[in-house]
């Protein structure tokens, strides 16, 4: 597809916001925007991330697309209030990262969660009869405890995904795997601590990140504007736009009904998308 007025785009910086949980809808929107950015030949991308994390596959697809685009243009990520877990993962797709000193980041790890309601179901006299093709087809069923073989299978799944995460951070930030593992234990840290660990390059605001992106491609930071790829809001989102907490809760609950292996940060058992410091 040939877009008109290419020179205009070549003098602007593309901008994408990633807000809230990283799941299917976010992945689709970001991938479409990245494709358009490449077609219109923007010289640089400002990636604003304010996310507590998200599903493994979606985070990895966004990261891969960013790495591919980064071979052609400059990408600067700006970590906002929260850029943790899956937010960190996609941020590794940028060649340069800026964080606020107080940004909540880190939480490098993988979590898989299930519920065991067996005792509750027994009290109300409810039981399930299961016919399955194999012994592990109903793994993580909510009406019984995990067996030891199931725990082993799931732990292997977590360990493999965790290793992928660690390797991605190590390669992106030019650190050794051992160094990354030393702080990739699920802990959170501030942007200032992330700088000391080598996870980000500079401390600063989104405006600082925009100016840096302009400088990297030889544009005047005082005059260069951003072209923001806006998120198309659904009717439900527009209705809830005045209540971000409720909106984030609904979106995350909808996505988590089918996605359960996650790069996600939790605080005292409460997912960060429900947490307000």
> Which are the catalytic amino acids?
85, 137
DSSP state of 22: B
104-106 and 74-84 strand pairing: parallel
Q: For residue 46, which of 224, 231, 194 has the smallest C-alpha distance?
A: 224
74-84 and 96-99 strand pairing: parallel
- As to burial, measured by CB atoms within 10 angstroms (0-12 exposed, 13-18 middle, 19+ buried), residue 232 is exposed
Residues 3, 39 contacting (CB under 8 angstroms)? yes
Instruction: Rounding to the nearest 10 degrees, give the CA dihedral for residues 126, 132, 137, 138.
Output: 0
């Amino acid at each position: 597809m040939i877009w008109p007025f290419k020179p205009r785009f070549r003098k602007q910086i593309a901008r994408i916001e990633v807000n809230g949980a990283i799941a299917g809808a976010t992945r689709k929107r970001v991938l479409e925007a990245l494709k358009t950015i490449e077609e219109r030949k923007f010289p640089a991308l400002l990636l604003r991330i304010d996310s507590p994390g998200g599903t493994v596959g979606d985070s990895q697809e966004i990261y891969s697309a960013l790495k591919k685009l980064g071979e052609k243009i400059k990408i600067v990520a700006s970590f906002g209030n929260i850029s943790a877990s899956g937010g960190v993962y996609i941020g590794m797709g940028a060649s340069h990262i800026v964080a606020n000193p107080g940004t909540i980041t880190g939480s490098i790890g993988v979590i898989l969660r299930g519920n065991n309601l067996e005792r509750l179901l027994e009290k109300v006299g409810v039981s399930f009869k299961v016919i399955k093709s194999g012994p592990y087809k109903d793994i993580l069923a909510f009406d019984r405890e995990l067996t030891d073989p199931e725990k082993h299978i799931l732990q292997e799944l977590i360990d493999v995904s965790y290793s992928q995460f660690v390797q991605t951070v190590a390669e992106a930030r030019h650190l050794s795997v051992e160094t990354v593992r030393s702080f990739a234990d699920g802990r959170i840290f501030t942007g200032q601590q992330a700088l000391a660990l080598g996870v980000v390059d500079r401390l600063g605001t989104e405006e600082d990140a925009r100016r840096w992106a302009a400088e990297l491609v030889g544009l005047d930071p005082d005059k260069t504007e951003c072209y923001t790829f806006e998120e198309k809001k659904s009717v439900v989102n527009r209705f809830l736009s005045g209540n971000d907490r409720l909106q984030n809760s609904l979106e995350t609950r909808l996505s988590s009904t089918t996605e359960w292996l996650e790069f996600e940060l939790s605080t005292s058992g409460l997912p960060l998308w429900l947490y307000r410091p």
